Amino acid sequence: MSHARWPAGWLPIRPRNRMVGHVLVLNATYEPLSVVSVQRAVVLLLKEKAQIVEAAEAWIRAQHWAIPQPLVIRLVYYVRIPQRLSLPLSRRTVLARDGYTCQYCGLQPDKSELTLDHVVPRCRGGKTSWENLATACKRCNQRKANRTPREAGMALRDHPARPRYIAVTVLGDGRQHDVWRKYVC
């Protein structure tokens, strides 16, 4: 490779392997709080504000230290979360709560193929609430139509409920690691 276009004594700098990815942050009580960048997680670890709970096989190395790349970290001190903080009911949050999975057949099609299903149809007095909305693929939603799951001969995999943690909105974007599931569900 010719370096003729560079001034004498200069060589192009190769970008280092950057720390990419996301890390799940747990409270001291192992409740999910948020998702942060790997860089932010490393800072929390170096300041001894967090501990590694789950790590990848890859290592982050510096001149005088090396740590496994974190996937899940836990804060050393408890962070109080206001009880009044409520999660908005929206298509995005319901899909995230259900893991972008049809609650009838268990398939995970593209987001564009997913719909929100009222378990008790609105025409029968069903409300638009966390407890009455479920993620369904278009095929299952059309098959169920304006009937209850029992009338349609379909069973829900999980009964819909208000999410316990706000972190569900962040975790439901499809970028989550498999190891995160045991801390979120």
CATH label of the domain that carries residue 127: 1.10.30.50
39 part of a folded domain: yes
Instruction: Verify that 30 and 58 share a domain, yes or no.
Output: yes
Does some domain include residue 169? no
Residue 4, in any domain of the structure:
no
Of 56-65, 82-91, 151-160, the range with the lowest mean pLDDT is 82-91
Question: Does residue 59 belong to any structural domain of this protein?
Answer: yes
Q: Which residue has the tokens 């009838």?
A: 104
CA distance 28 to 49: 10
Do 115 and 145 lie in one domain? The reply is yes
Exposure on the CB side of residue 170, measured as CA atoms within 13 A: 15
In a domain, 125, yes or no: yes
Contacts of 38 (CB under 8 A, 6+ apart): 19, 20, 21, 22, 23, 60, 69, 70
Number of domains in the chain: 2
- Kindly state whether residues 158 and 98 are assigned to the same domain: yes
HSE-CB at 106 with a 13 A cutoff on CA atoms is: 2
Please tell me whether residues 39 and 102 are part of one structural domain: no
Q: Is residue 174 part of a domain?
A: no
3-state SS assignment for residue 111: helix
Which range marks the domain in which residue 31 is found?
Answer: 22-81+180-184
Q: How far apart are the first and last CA of the chain?
A: 52
Q: Model confidence over 107-124: pLDDT tens digits?
A: 999 989 999 999 999 999
Give yes or no: residues 103 and 77 share one domain. Answer: no
Contact 184, 165 (CB under 8 A): yes
Q: What's the pLDDT tens digit per position in 156-168?
A: 998 998 876 665 5
Is the separation of the CB atoms in 140 and 105 below 8 Å?
yes
| Structure tokens that stand for 71 in this block | 């996937």
pTM, entire model: 0.58
**pLDDT by residue (tens digit) across 6-54?**
555 554 444 455 567 889 999 999 888 888 889 999 999 999 999 999 9
